[in-house]
Amino acid sequence: MKTRFRTPVQACLENFLDCPHATFLHRYWFRAPTAKPVRARVRTLADGAEAEFFEEPRERSFVWWLLAPRRGGMRHVDRFIAPRTSVVDYEFPNGFRYTITSSCSAIDGCTTDVYTVISFRYPGLGWLVRLAFEPLARRIIRQDVEMLNAQYANIARFGEPRFASTRADLLVKHIAAWRSALARGEPPPAAGEQYDVDIRL
């Protein structure tokens, strides 16, 4: 998919890699509020950073009801690949796997074209998954477009952004640090850091 956003590249990356936002913006499509504790492990990498989620709730989610096995765990990793790519990867014990890769291309300071590829491994029924998931994915990304466009319009109205992060913004500081260092021609942030964060979804 190719999608145009009326917002800068960094805002797109932060949105795609913000797991909690799906609880509200994509409610009942990907997940619904459960207030269950979830442990996330953040790692800095040689080309960016990633967050892996443990014991993530899946109830009241149309996507996982439709496409995922009913039993067993789910490995979910969100990854930022500097300077402008996001990867959201879901893997299940039975071998099913879904990966959403988005690469952001700046048109100007406030417009971004996003190129998204959804890859999946679903033995035997791949054609049926595509038939169901492609229109669903387009609907979900339209929700992101509407929200980010509204956010940018509000920023323009008041003149400048005034953001505040919480501990649930797992990859925001890593995205900002990488992109800032590259823009200034400085060495990128160091790899090898790892820490856990407890959030609720």
What CATH number corresponds to the domain at position 121?
Answer: 3.90.380.10
State how far the Cα of 148 lies from the Cα of 14, in Å rounded to an integer.
11
Nearest to 16 by CA among 108, 112, 107: 112
Nearest to 89 by CA among 79, 99, 81, 103: 99
Phi first, then psi, for residue 150 (nearest 5°) are -65, -40
Which pTM does this prediction carry? 0.89
- pLDDT tens digits, residue range 82-128? 999 999 998 888 788 889 999 999 999 899 999 999 888 877 777 77
- pLDDT tens digits, residue range 127-137? 777 777 788 88
Domain coverage including residue 19: 2-200
Number of domains in the chain: 1
State how far the Cα of 92 lies from the Cα of 130, in Å rounded to an integer.
18
